[in-house]
Structure formats: structure tokens, C-alpha cells
Amino acid sequence: MVRALPPLPTTLRPTLDGARRTPRSPAEVWAARQWINDMAPRLARYVPDADRRQTLLTRIHQEASLAGLPPALVLSVIQVESAFRAEAVSSAGAVGLMQIMPFWIRELGLPADDLKDPIRNLRYGCTILAHYLAVEDGDLTRALARYNGSLGKTWYPERVMRALSRRWTPAAPGLPERLTADR
């Protein structure tokens, strides 16, 4: 028997609307290109095709920025969730790069949305993670645990943070060493 879900939290709509209003300056465009160039060789292990890798990194940076998330955090979540396999489906039914549960389509999208589409999946995943960061007042550990469905446990946030520190922490000078979220 399928159980009805609670209504969409009122905090989620402002997160979505706010993300759409932010223009990008030339300095932000330059910083994005530098970040993509720094991350491309690190992602080659998971995504060998250079064009696909460039496209994916560009989109990750765009979606993370729209949601007010550090792009390196999104890379870390994807590594832990799906190892960058867009077609991944978990035993619980989570789908795609960021392992989105299909019920989110009813909450955020349209019935035709394909969660295996990397672009659509990134939009959902970044929006959901930004929402949980807002709900948890910026507490990344709790937000990551909520994202994974393991609130109250730390094993998942620890895995994401380990991936972040070992593989995705930006090396370029001038980029923040400490992870922060704009929420």
C-alpha cells in the first residue's frame, strides 16, 4: 500500500526561486573555468570521455552554484551515491547520479521527468541538498544525513566528507579551503 507524502515544505520554494535570480559576473565565469580545469583530471577515473567529462563538470558547477552549494560537495555526493553512473538505481529505488528517490518528481517536477538524465538529476539533487541545508540551518552533517535518509547517523556524511577531502577539494589558490554553504 502506498502512503501519502506530507505536503512540500514551504522552505523549498524560496530556495528554488532564489537560485534563478543570481546573475554571473566575469570573475565568477573565470573561477568556474578554473574549477572545471582543476577537476577534469580528477574525474577522468570515473568519466574517461573528455567531452562528457567537460559537459558534466560544467553542469555540476552551474547547478551547484544555482543552489548555493560548493560544486566540490556535489562531486563528493555523486561519487558516494553512484560513482558517476547516470543509469544507477539503488536497491531502495533511488535513481541516477545523485540517487534521487522518484517521489521527488511529484514534489518538484513533472511526471515526464527522467531521473536518469544527468541534467535533470543534478537539478533535483542540488535543490534537495540545498533544501536540507536550509532546514538544518547550515548543519552539513545533518543535511547530508537527511539527503541519504539516515538522519541521526554519521556514516554517510563521513563518507561524503572523506571523498571531498581526498579527491575534490580544489587546489587552485584563492579558493576557500573551508567548505561553506550559502544557506
- Return the active site residues: 81
Query: For 109, how many CA atoms within 13 A lie in the half-sphere containing its CB?
Result: 20
Phi, psi of 89 (to 5 degrees): -135, 125
**181, 70 contact by CB (below 8 A):** yes
Bridge partners (DSSP) of residue 61 are none
Phi, psi of 60 (to 5 degrees): -60, -45
| Angstrom distance (rounded) from CA 10 to CA 20 | 17
| Angstrom distance (rounded) from CA 124 to CA 59 | 13
> 139 is written with which cell numbers?
548543519
> 136 is written with which cell numbers?
538544518
3-class secondary-structure state, position 6: coil
Question: What contacts 82, CB < 8 A, 6 or more positions away?
Answer: 88, 96, 97, 98, 99
